[in-house]
Structure 1
């Protein structure tokens, strides 16, 4: 990209840099006016916020807002900050360079490394990112309220990244009515969605007709808090309060815990009323008024996910039909989701043979299948790559990319590379899980058994020093700690291993069971009812 700044006086040209996702989210909030900040923080400012929840000037602020950069940019004087596609968003004139050790995992400041601080100057409106039409600035949202004549109405803000089920909707309606001034508050729902995808935003939007009018929606991306348990959660809730205040909120409704409180809050936060579904009266009521044993147990997020994964309907008392339908659309049954079955193991472990058998079983189940075997991929997709660590990682990433594209369109990809490094496997998992499901199978054949098989003579050559950086001999194999299935192949036939893997996929809901197929066949054989004919 050409430099748009003034180069007179020998000033160095600005270098392009695409910040990491957290810093990019910070940048958008700075540029939109949702943050009362001019740019990225200095060491003093970040330390003050981390330790005291305040900037050095005494104003309350909950999270450090810093810009990590690679070593190559540590001495930069100017940076053009871009989106992931290279479009310029802002120019940073560096005020301070500093090193963050990130000793405190609660500071949300990322990994140790170089940081650059300074004010940012707007270049052009962002176009990258999902739901861009809903990413209005605080000034735009406040302006629309004024034009609509709603400027004097209290604003109840709800910041959420989760669906609004019946309980949440009842809570919002009750809080909107309870403003203390006799007038119902306008509801402003700020949907905290990822920048690169819609996330659960479509599900939240599905509840719009069920909210009291007037209700408005806006999408923003709040940086994820780092590790740190409750302290990190409290900082995140405080950040939500500051962003809500920027959008004109007069109160913040906390749907979960913790409820932010104290002098740091720019607007008061109110706790949502505790409600329970009374099975005896078939209605939502204040929890204290429901007889013991009559309160329905709410399904947690894992149970909701499992219900959707198995293609079952969510209870009508739990969520509105509109919300349930949108949830089912974005989280279809596992038999309809894109899936990557990723086999990893030492050379000679049997993973390719097992993967081929599993692929055939998946194909027979009726699912669209792509087999990405390690040796075939080496010839067709990764020709020219060496066996250096960098090239082996690139080979696995390429496999992961192709698998993610298969999963994106609802197909099943079966992959069988060695994939010896945990970090690279994690990259592939993250890539695939953006668009589908990931099922890691560790073919855990011991090294000595693999050497005994060694039909290609590779281990013998590696022992003789003829093959450098050979996995298991001169280079490590990092055994997975996150495998969905571990296959021990000693003393077992290939057929038994294939059957165990297919059984695991059926049990997880990714393949139809024998009962499912039997029901489908029975349905096909039965004559239609008069209503169907």
Structure 2
């Protein structure tokens, strides 16, 4: 056995928050420094730097450390660290900074959380970073896509001095720093602790895996789910936390503790698994559970690419566990065998022809959206009740109908008809966010450049997401010509409810012939620059939920086609 006691805890993770009086003074002087508003991912990274979760790091990596990490998975002193932790900033800010200067790091409300002493500023080779860290440069990998689309092109490195941790207004009793958890373990007399990482709700299968691991290691159990930024398609953490609380009663009394981890996952497969193990060691774990595909992106369908071989994460951690001082608790892919009434190794079941059952997260969500029950072998009633609260039937979910198409395609008319239909139904609050209305009331200062049109659509998406999150219906009808922006809005809204993209595919010729406002004529004459369909492209949606051409349909006929699709899919009360 690698580690049976708390010997690693003698090297306590280093927190970077300074004393209160010094912090108050630094907070005052930080007003003189240039400032950077942290993204959600950066806020997660900063919190784990400040509380010691990323120990031994003392700040965002400088270029030399970054290069060594992506090439060798090691820090400058040779210690293993597989993930680059960098502060990305936009070019305009980067051009104002210089080594030797200081940068105030602020949350989205303008509170300074830390000050960075700038040591390095550089522009990384993102393709090389993707290939080294993720093993691919394909943007089908969501981590790589984030790197190329959301991460700025300049990195700033240096030590940080912490003023205060980010504030969390929820689940305070389940949020712990490494030092707090270690003190709790000490108080309870826990010497061996198995950590369990998850970004999904826990059911009987996960309970079985964790209980087996605790028994094998003769250890207590830390349920340590991610509540920072998890994988696309994961249930929002507010909902998952209720499931974790519900499952706690099924463990033997005194065996487990629930603590929420503010981590921004990268989905980097084996490197991710090794990183997770190091973080759990800092939180006081002696063992860490690793599955067959730990740390990679979800694979929602067989046709989607598999970026990492099965058990690659276990192989990498097994190679380094002795050095990093935490023992792996591996488990194989399990499934439920009805004949035996227990969970068994899926490979063994395939070899013997044993019937073996399982449900994916997508299948669970689909069943709940159709008001179907989940089988008793899969979960417990209390967990199911918590899930139903966040997976209401589609007819009671918040939804966004997002009409997109050329000017004159008929999208605004269809949006108004659907708005009236939902008002007539009366079961949910409904809001119409027409392109022209939003332009007058929300984006009146914006022009029609690509950047301004992009910002306008993102504003519409933000408002629609808030409406959807609160169980309402948002009906949007902008032109929304750019696929990347539409995808960003979809991702934002699907965290909270349904996103129905409706491509009104009426041809340019028909739209131009309708030209009631004379916009196309002005665009043809060059009076209106960058006009969609004439002097600026419209990127046709590849896979909208609904595609409809109004050339040969009256507005009411087209609206009825949309209504029938919504009825079939369960979004309209039958």
TM-score range, shorter chain: 0.7 to 0.9
- 1:224 alignment partner in structure 2: 265
Asked if 1:272 is matched to 2:331, the reply is yes
- 2:202 alignment partner in structure 1: 164
489-498 vs 96-105, which moves further: 489-498
Give the one of 225, 228, 231 matched to 1:194.
228
Give the one of 122, 125, 142 matched to 1:98.
122
Shift in Å, 1:335: 1.4
Q: How does 1:155-304 map to 2 (within 5 A)?
A: 155-179=193-217, 184-194=218-228, 198=238, 200-212=240-252, 213-225=254-266, 232-257=268-293, 258-259=313-314, 260-263=317-320, 265-272=324-331, 275-284=334-343, 288=348, 292=352, 294-304=354-364
- 1:343 alignment partner in structure 2: 403
- Output the CA distance in 2 between the equivalents of 1:429 and 1:224: 20
- 1:496 alignment partner in structure 2: 557
Any idea what the Cα deviations from partners look like across 1:87-119, whole Å, max 9, x if unmatched?
Answer: 221111011122212123143693462111111
- Output the CA distance in 1 between the equivalents of 2:80 and 2:444: 56
Structure 1 residues 26 and 440: CA distance shift in structure 2, 3 A: same
Question: Are the equivalent residues in 2 in contact too, given 1:90–1:123 (CA < 8 A)?
Answer: yes
Give the one of 406, 412, 415 matched to 2:476.
415
- Structure number with greater Rg is 1
Question: Are the equivalent residues in 2 in contact too, given 1:97–1:116 (CA < 8 A)?
Answer: yes
- Output the CA distance in 2 between the equivalents of 1:7 and 1:207: 45
Asked if 1:448 is matched to 2:523, the reply is no
| TM-score normalised by the chain length of structure 2 | 0.80
Question: Are the equivalent residues in 2 in contact too, given 1:344–1:442 (CA < 8 A)?
Answer: yes
- Output the CA distance in 2 between the equivalents of 1:465 and 1:3: 57
Question: Are the equivalent residues in 1 in contact too, given 2:337–2:355 (CA < 8 A)?
Answer: yes
5+ residue gaps, structure 1: 227-231, 514-533
3-state secondary structure, aligned to 1:170: helix
- 1:527 alignment partner in structure 2: none
Question: Are the equivalent residues in 2 in contact too, given 1:19–1:68 (CA < 8 A)?
Answer: no
3-state secondary structure, aligned to 1:335: helix
Asked if 1:355 is matched to 2:415, the reply is yes
Shift in Å, 1:482: 4.6
Number of equivalent positions: 499
Structure 1 residues 463 and 276: CA distance shift in structure 2, 3 A: closer
- Output the CA distance in 2 between the equivalents of 1:456 and 1:274: 61
Asked if 1:475 is matched to 2:536, the reply is yes
- Output the CA distance in 2 between the equivalents of 1:377 and 1:64: 40
Question: Are the equivalent residues in 2 in contact too, given 1:161–1:201 (CA < 8 A)?
Answer: no
Shift in Å, 1:351: 0.8
Shift in Å, 1:62: 1.1
Structure 1 residues 410 and 12: CA distance shift in structure 2, 3 A: closer
Asked if 1:434 is matched to 2:495, the reply is yes
Give the one of 167, 177, 183 matched to 1:143.
183
3-state secondary structure, aligned to 2:265: coil
Structure 1 residues 282 and 401: CA distance shift in structure 2, 3 A: same
- 2:298 alignment partner in structure 1: none
- Output the CA distance in 1 between the equivalents of 2:201 and 2:85: 28
Shift in Å, 1:171: 1.7
- 1:518 alignment partner in structure 2: none
- Output the CA distance in 1 between the equivalents of 2:491 and 2:350: 43
- 1:520 alignment partner in structure 2: none
Structure 1 residues 295 and 503: CA distance shift in structure 2, 3 A: same
- Output the CA distance in 1 between the equivalents of 2:345 and 2:533: 61
- Output the CA distance in 2 between the equivalents of 1:297 and 1:478: 42
3-state secondary structure, aligned to 2:541: coil
Structure 1 residues 220 and 507: CA distance shift in structure 2, 3 A: same
Question: Are the equivalent residues in 2 in contact too, given 1:156–1:187 (CA < 8 A)?
Answer: yes
Q: How does 1:4-19 map to 2 (within 5 A)?
A: 4-5=25-26, 13-19=32-38
Q: Aligned-pair RMSD on alpha carbons?
A: 2.7
Asked if 1:376 is matched to 2:445, the reply is no
- Output the CA distance in 2 between the equivalents of 1:448 and 1:274: 55
- 2:570 alignment partner in structure 1: 509
Any idea what the Cα deviations from partners look like across 1:257-306, whole Å, max 9, x if unmatched?
Answer: 23232125531212225544232343445664899555342011221111
Structure 1 residues 194 and 308: CA distance shift in structure 2, 3 A: farther
- 2:158 alignment partner in structure 1: 118
- 1:67 alignment partner in structure 2: 87
Question: Are the equivalent residues in 2 in contact too, given 1:208–1:215 (CA < 8 A)?
Answer: yes
Q: How does 1:49-68 map to 2 (within 5 A)?
A: 49-68=69-88
- Output the CA distance in 1 between the equivalents of 2:364 and 2:391: 10
- Output the CA distance in 1 between the equivalents of 2:350 and 2:526: 74
Question: Are the equivalent residues in 2 in contact too, given 1:99–1:113 (CA < 8 A)?
Answer: yes
- 2:310 alignment partner in structure 1: none
Question: Are the equivalent residues in 1 in contact too, given 2:27–2:112 (CA < 8 A)?
Answer: no
- Output the CA distance in 2 between the equivalents of 1:376 and 1:223: 36
- 2:139 alignment partner in structure 1: none
- Output the CA distance in 2 between the equivalents of 1:129 and 1:320: 29
Any idea what the Cα deviations from partners look like across 1:120-162, whole Å, max 9, x if unmatched?
Answer: 1110132146534422111110101112233xx3111111111
